[in-house]
Amino acid sequence: MHTRRTLIAIAAIGTLLLAAHPSLAQDKSIIVSSTTSTQDSGLFGHILPLFKSKTGIDVKVLSQGTGQALDTGRRGDADVVFVHAKSAEEKFLTEGFGVKRFPVMYNDFVLIGPKSDPAGIKGSKDVAAALKTIKDKGAPFISRGDKSGTHIAEINLWKIAGIDIAADKGPWYKEIGQGMGAALNTASASNAYVLTDRGTWLSFKNRGDLIVAVEGDKRLFNQYGVMLVNPAKHPTVKKELGQQFIDWLISPEGHKAIADYKINGEQLFYPNAQDPGA
């Protein structure tokens, strides 16, 4: 009986050591809180191995909504934030949580809708007019409703279309409070319109009857920025390793890696670190 108990104890300790093992082995690592779009589109899967082979740094990506990703940085639980909502990023900086914002790249949003196109907006290049038509016809529309970068962009587009969506929404407008994939799944199941980033759309597999209804409008461009979490606020931030990652992202080498990532031959992200207004 005693030997059996000893065995159980040894097994328990052994299991715990195993569980602890991965973090012991990877001390040269940083945590990047980012958005679902960069992760789900497969961009990180493409560029992070290149970065690691050059620097030996392991990048652990938290894929969250922009709001949550910034909050993770605010709490000091990430070293770098890499998101796409310029106004929220600037607020993060003025609060003192970020060191400096570097524009990295942009992708674009697309307005997705059912093949049957009940609002009759297919092929339009004017997203504001298309949204107004959807609202006027009461065509079903799925909103993320989760304060993510995409959700913030969607609210801005309604504003551009002259619609105060908080006041004007009707039963046709459904906020699901979930991620991009869930929003697409919901739209696919209910034949509704939905705004998404192109990367998530291209790698999304459960499309059903959904197609791209509106694309190519300049107002659909979606800028990504990267910031080191302020070590003055959170001394545990790995500032050297984090800055190394940021420097690489905006270097020609990083830009090439980003531009090279394609799905079905389509480039998803356009590096633009040199654009001062981005």
Q: Please name the residue ranges forming H helices in the chain.
A: 2-25, 36-40, 43-55, 66-74, 86-94, 127-137, 149-160, 165-168, 180-190, 198-203, 239-249, 252-260
Nearest approach, Cβ of 12 to another protein (angstroms)? 4
Around Cβ 268, how many Cβ atoms within 10 Å? 25
Q: Give the whole-angstrom CA distance, residue 128 versus residue 131.
A: 5
As given in the structure block, the two tokens for residue 135 are 């609202």
Tally of CA atoms within 13 A in the half-sphere of 219 that contains its CB: 19
- Give the nearer residue to another protein in terms of CB position, either 60 or 91: 60
Nearest approach, Cβ of 8 to another protein (angstroms)? 8
- Give the nearer residue to another protein in terms of CB position, either 32 or 130: 32
Q: Could you tell me which residues are beta bridge partners of residue 61?
A: 32
Q: Please choose, from the candidates 260, 237, 246, the residue with its C-alpha nearest in 3D space to the C-alpha of residue 55.
A: 246
Nearest approach, Cβ of 74 to another protein (angstroms)? 8
- Give the nearer residue to another protein in terms of CB position, either 19 or 167: 19
Residues that bind another protein (CB under 8 A): 1, 11-12, 15-16, 18-20, 22-23, 26, 31, 36, 39-40, 44-45, 60-63, 74-77, 178-182, 184-185, 188, 200, 203-207, 234, 236
- Give the nearer residue to another protein in terms of CB position, either 75 or 125: 75
- Give the nearer residue to another protein in terms of CB position, either 45 or 123: 45
Q: Give the whole-angstrom CA distance, residue 74 versus residue 78.
A: 8
Nearest approach, Cβ of 136 to another protein (angstroms)? 30
Q: Please choose, from the candidates 158, 160, 204, 157, the residue with its C-alpha nearest in 3D space to the C-alpha of residue 179.
A: 204
- Give the nearer residue to another protein in terms of CB position, either 52 or 219: 52
Nearest approach, Cβ of 87 to another protein (angstroms)? 24
- Give the nearer residue to another protein in terms of CB position, either 51 or 158: 51
Task: Tell me which residue has tokens 């524009």.
Answer: 103
Nearest approach, Cβ of 181 to another protein (angstroms)? 3
Report yes or no: 33 and 82 within 8 Å, Cβ to Cβ: yes
Q: Give the whole-angstrom CA distance, residue 154 versus residue 158.
A: 6
Nearest approach, Cβ of 133 to another protein (angstroms)? 26
Around Cβ 29, how many Cβ atoms within 10 Å? 16
- Give the nearer residue to another protein in terms of CB position, either 59 or 157: 59
Q: Please choose, from the candidates 172, 101, 167, the residue with its C-alpha nearest in 3D space to the C-alpha of residue 133.
A: 172
Nearest approach, Cβ of 202 to another protein (angstroms)? 11
